[in-house]
Structure 1
Amino acid sequence: FRPEFSRSNLPGVLLAGGFLTVATNLQQLGLRYTTAGNAGFITGLYVILVPIFLWLVWRDPVRWHSFLAAGVAVVGMLFINTGGALKFATGDLYELAGAVFWALHVIIIGIMVRRMNVLAFSIGQFTFCGIVNLVSGLIFEPFQITNILSSGWALLYAGILSGGIGYTLQAIGQKFSPSSDAALILSLEAVFAALFGYLFLREGASTSQILGYALILVAILIAQALRPTPTEPQEINEYSSSGN
């Protein structure tokens, strides 16, 4: 099996890889100066940024139920990550900038997977992201082989399962789903994190976190229940008005 790749799609693939690179690095940089709870919540703001950008830049028709669902999901993430109380720190600005690039990454995926082979797209964006991060890491970070070997299994898991397989499945899903809905579904990451944390680490959940999980599930139901009918492949032409 050979994934098809066209040179005309190269700029879009590189753009996706660039967005992914900037988003991940801003997220990691922000974590040095803020709490994990703040980082999780602010990063999750891409859920509501996606429909806003689609409307502002691509003139995608405003779907009020998408904004309603995204707003409910954002409140849910606030309860999950911060317990409902958000104290701002210096690193939050990095996380907010990262949320912008996460939103752009979701949007560019939605555009490119309708133009080209999904596997070719995924290979291209991961290759670009990997090369840029490798070069920048060698330049700006101390290289210690012992640290890499000691974290080998975690790196393999993050690179292959969480990164390679996870983002490829996301691209496949976005081929058949509007980007605003995809961003909302991706917010379920917090729910699954809690589930697996309980199953494998025996971590409990506070009342505010349980409320947050419930709100995210409600947001998903809002997005699906209020979706216009029929749900024909209109999403395939989601960005046609922009000339893309």
Structure 2
Amino acid sequence: MVVKLSKELIADLFLLSVTIFWGSTFIIVKKSIEMMPTFAFLTIRFFIATVLLVIMFFPKLKQLNKEILRDGVILGVVLFSAYAFQTVALEYAKASVVGFLTGLNVIFTPIFSAVFLKKMPRIYSQIGAVLAFIGVFLMSAGDSLTFSIGEILTIICAIFVAFQIILTDKYSRRHDTYLLTVIEIATLTVCSWIVSLLTEPYVLPEHFSNYLIFSFIITAVFATVYAFVVQNTAQKYTTPTKTAIIFIMEPVFAGIFGYLLGGEVLSLKGYIGALIMFAGLFISEIGPALKR
């Protein structure tokens, strides 16, 4: 028997693969910015990614126009804001906690999508988003139900991630997604470089350790080039709310890699939250199929 997968399901599976790479980067980046300044690290990461993207899609560059440049720069600035708040937050909070709180974009995305894109999420997506929000809260909030400076910075990051998702949904339907990705990541590089020059002692370290080289390979090649080419392409075939719910798996993988690479352990409440998040993703994905 041959199972025919819909374009939407294939897009969702590719987006899920992106969350694995993104989830692995939290603990990797946290260790890397202990070795070099935060925005210097981001500058090198996104510069490598930009060079690779330009090489990959060089023939398409002749199709550049003012509209793609404008929208790509907007996407890049919004995404830079998300990365800036998230990476600085890693200086103050555990990688797994930052990963989980980034998942709060799942509750912001449907709201922004309804307000700015006039796209009301399906009932299953709404239920999934609520469950995912409850799960993230259980995994992140401490016993006192208060948040540290690192956690507050991550919540701001989650707001920018939600904006990036809905803007990607809008722009990817009107432009070549590969060109859009090139401009977006190039903008990230320029923004990171400017902030690094203004606030940090250096951009290029005198010595690149084996760990930093490994870190740049993972974050630039897999978590940037692969991830954003997939996101900008796959979002043509799915919805912003479903994308946000799929991306909720990012903090789950952040927790797994945080344990495997950094020895970070969750509380029982955290693991219960993870199960609730899985339930939200399952309902969002399976609900429409069961209804049919």
CA RMSD of aligned residues (A): 2.9
Shift of 1:211: 2.3
Q: What is the one-letter code of the residue matched to 2:208?
A: L
Aligned residue among 207, 220, 240 for 1:159: 220
Q: d(CA) in 1 for partners of 2:95 and 2:141? A: 9
* Equivalent of residue 238 in structure 2, options 170, 174, 177: 177
In the alignment of these two chains, the number of paired residues is 231
Deviations 1:68-97 (A, max 9, x none): 211111222233345776431234433222
Q: What letter corresponds to residue 285 of structure 2 in structure 1?
A: Q
Task: Give secondary structure in 1 for the equivalent of 2:208.
Answer: helix
| Contact 2:99–2:255, Cα closer than 8 Å, also in 1 | no
Give the equivalent residue in structure 2 for 1:236: none
After superposition, the Cα gap between the structure-2 partners of 1:147 and 1:223, relative to the gap in structure 1 and judged at 3 Å, is farther
Structure 1 residues 104 and 170, CA gap change in structure 2 (3 angstroms) = same
Paired residue for 1:49? 108
Deviation by residue 1:101-160 (Cα, 9 ceiling, x = unmatched) = 111001111111111222111111001111111122122111164466132321232122
Task: Give yes or no for the alignment of 1:26 onto 2:85.
Answer: yes
Aligned 8 A contact 2:103 2:247 in 1:
no
Q: Does the Cα contact within 8 Å between 1:42 and 1:99 map onto a contact in 2?
A: yes
Aligned position for 2:64:
5
Larger mean Cα displacement after TM superposition, 213-222 or 104-113: 213-222
User: How many angstroms does 1:46 deviate by?
Assistant: 0.8
| Counterpart in the other structure of 2:169 | 110
Partners of 1:33 and 1:154 in 2: CA distance: 20
Q: How does 1:78-93 map to 2 (within 5 A)?
A: 78-82=137-141, 86-93=145-152
Aligned residue for 1:237?
A: none
After the TM superposition, which residues 202-221 of structure 1 pair with which residues of structure 2 at under 5 Å, given as runs? 206-221=267-282
For 2:226, the aligned partner's letter is I
**CA–CA distance in structure 2, aligned partners of residues 41 and 196 of structure 1:** 12
Pair 84,185 (structure 1): closer, same or farther in 2 beyond 3 Å: farther
Distance 1:37 1:85 in 2: 18
Give a deviation string over 1:32-85, Cα, whole Å, max 9, x none: 445545533432211110100111222222533322211111222233345776
Tell me which amino acid in the other structure corresponds to 1:98: C
Residue 125 of structure 1: aligned partner: 184
TM-score normalized with structure 2 length: 0.68
- What runs of 5+ residues in structure 2 fail to find an aligned partner? 1-56
TM-score (structure 1 length as normaliser) = 0.80
Query: Percent identity between the aligned chains?
Result: 24
Contact 2:76 2:185 in 1 (8 A): yes
